Amino acid sequence: MKHTHGKATAAQDLYQAAIDAQRDKRNPDLVARLKAHFTARGLDETSIKHRSIIGGDLGYADQTAVYRYLSNKWTLGDLEKFETRLVAHLENEMRLDGGAQLITDPAAFVHPSMFAFLNQVRACGNIGVAHGPAGIGKTCACRLYAAQNKGNTLYLHLVTWKRRQSIIVQSLLKAAGIKASRGDCKEEVLARYLQEKGMMLVLDNAQRLTRHSRDWLRDLLDNTGIPIALIGNPEIIKQWAACDQHKRVVGLKRDVSVDLFESDGEKLIPGETSEATVDHLLKLHFPKSNAAVKRQALSLLTRADSGAAGAVAMHARLADLMLKGGKVTDPAEAFRLASTQLIQQEAA
């Protein structure tokens, strides 16, 4: 009797699962990205506490929305609005982390000025400072370069809470897979490793470095002779020029945005690197894009207030979700609607 009851329960569960699958209106790619986000942050999607953390990041008071989305039990109204908010959050997390997805197609993304700068720093063996406006693709280029030169390049993306010397040293040791023994000076352990391996150090978002961190980098160069590439926004030049001791060790300064645009009077015309950037981003995030989408994306990339490459990627992802959802069939219209939604969301 119990055996029969067990079979009936199993059959009922299968039937309910089939019904739930038919009613599943979620974007499967976005569900997979959310699950991967939990894993990347060391969180457990089955934990109420951990779901509450993600819910808070999305602007919710508790874990309910995240739970119902993950378990395909959505009853909280506009699902598309939740997914739009989720896309924006995941994109922001990628930017904070320096881009969670490495570019693996060099032919589609070419940043000749950035690559030439990094190669020149390596050849000269000094501190090189590269600068350019936020969002032009500096981080993507650095991550691609580091991925192609894993054996002799150590890369770190700096954020507000990871800019002091001690935290930078800890982060670099972790990135290199080195454990310092109790009582060892971590700075000396790192310096010895960098020198013995002939490594180049690449610090992205380096305008966030503190004065004490810049002193440490100067001493690191003096004691090891390793090449150090610092990538940041234009204010980084003033930071290193403000102190004679810092200015002395900067052997190379470069504006890596010079090949992004071609000036035609007051009109800004996308240059070769801009087109290569857009081609890569659309290929990666919006495979069904067309020439009309590319024109919109180029216009967005060259707008001073757009957020540049990050904004193009966000628009492309959202437009791709709309197209897959079946509500829109024209790629250009999907990209335009994505722009409208993101503007409305920012205004709200």
Alpha carbon distance, N-terminus to C-terminus of the chain: 58
Asked whether the predicted pLDDT for residue 111 surpasses 70, the reply is no
Q: How confident is the model at residue 110 (pLDDT cuts 50, 70, 90)?
A: very low
Long-range pairs, 102-107, Cβ under 8 A, ≥24: 102/143, 102/144, 102/147, 103/140, 103/143, 103/144, 103/147, 103/280, 103/284, 104/147, 105/280, 105/283, 105/284, 106/144, 106/148
Query: Which range, 120-124, 136-140, 218-222, is most confident?
Result: 218-222
pLDDT score recorded for residue 108: 40
254-270: average pLDDT? 54
Q: How confident is the model at residue 308 (pLDDT cuts 50, 70, 90)?
A: low
| Full-model pTM | 0.51
Asked whether the predicted pLDDT for residue 177 surpasses 90, the reply is no
Average pLDDT, the chain: 78
> Where are the domains positioned within the chain?
23-96, 112-255, 261-347
For every residue of 99-121, DSSP letters joined together read -SS----TTT---HHHHHHHHHH
Residue 126 CB contacts under 8 Å (≥ 6 apart), including other chains: 221, 227, 228, 249, 250, 251, 252
Asked whether the predicted pLDDT for residue 271 surpasses 50, the reply is yes
130-154: average pLDDT? 79
pLDDT score recorded for residue 302: 66
Domain 112-255 class in CATH = alpha beta
Cα dihedral across residues 310, 312, 313, 318: positive or negative:
positive
